[in-house]
Structure 1
């Protein structure tokens, strides 16, 4: 092989690596904080189910969901903080409920009862199983899902995505890919949405 041919191959290889890098990192950024699609606004929230600030923000977020309907997409993602003993299991429980079509209902139940289970240093698995029963979920399927490594990996992947996007505390919101920096009150979030709403 001639020197020029080898040089051409090296150049092609470098270009391929650079393009792959752009695609990979571009995809991660989009996954962490998606832009609006089809003229809609997307609000991504990273939360920890044991976090009191997340619990305080939840009613406002629910109100915004109700008010905006299909005009705004709300994408809730997990960011369990390691120092919170039960936050990771709570996130898995939400995803386990989601497998039976009750993800949003389990989120609401977790926050409604947050003061009863959060901050405990013992496993709250029995509490979460009780929530599943109240929601009418298949108990055996829910228990099996709680132990599913794939659900735990999904939760941890969301936390990793959040960290890459700059999440350092919960709740953290992104409105059309831009990190929201104000206090996460109903009024402040509504103002941020209105700024970008078509």
Structure 2
């Protein structure tokens, strides 16, 4: 079976699993908004695994590009914990917990995970129980949000709402055809070279024409 066939088979498996596992619709739209929503802007969606090195490497140039365009570009990040990355689901859940407690801290926490990925996979957690890993993540999140949030963060990992939010985010990615990270959409259409980081110049080449077109249209 060729690479494209394997990817398609995996993609179809994820879609059918997402549909069959839980036929529910979440009450809120998935994702973490970066800054303010701008209705008439170029809409960028990023699917990240907080413990994925390629997600980590893709974030700085994307952030720089979004900040360059200001209100002309709106970004939302979705978590997509890859099953072959140790503790990806727990770290993704931590982001949903943080977003629920203090949405302004979500991206700081995402960047903290990117900066310290080595603490949560591979040899660092090989001999640790799931409970021990979660406890380590709780302490890590508390350092970012503040000591006053400790009990709320601990409760977040036993709260079915944050569990469901993390699952919905993954299922949402599956239904969109996401099969790896990073994975990007612009105005609803997938960006080529999924799974590979894009540098700042590449983002400019993609977004510049879209922004220019909107300016010409008077948007």
Same fold? TM cut 0.5: yes
Say if 2:38 and 2:73, in contact at 8 Å, map to a contact too.
no
Q: Give ranges in structure 2 of 5+ residues lacking alignment.
A: 1-24, 32-36, 215-219
Superposition RMSD in Å: 2.5
1:70 aligns with 2:75: no
Which residue in the other structure is 1:177 paired with?
Answer: 188
Tell me, in whole angstroms, the C-alpha distance in 2 between the residues paired with 1:32 and 1:178: 17
Distance 1:103 1:32, change over 3 A: closer
Equivalences for 1:70-149 in 2 at 5 Å? 70-101=71-102, 102-119=105-122, 120-121=125-126, 122=128, 123=130, 124-135=133-144, 136=146, 138-149=149-160
Which residue in the other structure is 1:167 paired with?
Answer: 178
Tell me, in whole angstroms, the C-alpha distance in 1 between the residues paired with 2:209 and 2:170: 28
Q: Output the TM-score relative to the length of structure 2.
A: 0.69
Tell me, in whole angstroms, the C-alpha distance in 1 between the residues paired with 2:141 and 2:71: 28
Q: Which moved further from structure 2: 134-143 or 123-132? A: 123-132
Q: Give ranges in structure 1 of 5+ residues lacking alignment.
A: 1-26
Tell me, in whole angstroms, the C-alpha distance in 1 between the residues paired with 2:70 and 2:189: 21
Q: Larger radius of gyration, structure 1 or 2?
A: 1
Displacement after TM superposition at 1:97 (Å)? 1.0
Q: 2:207 aligns with which of 184, 193, 197?
A: 193
Q: How many residues align?
A: 168
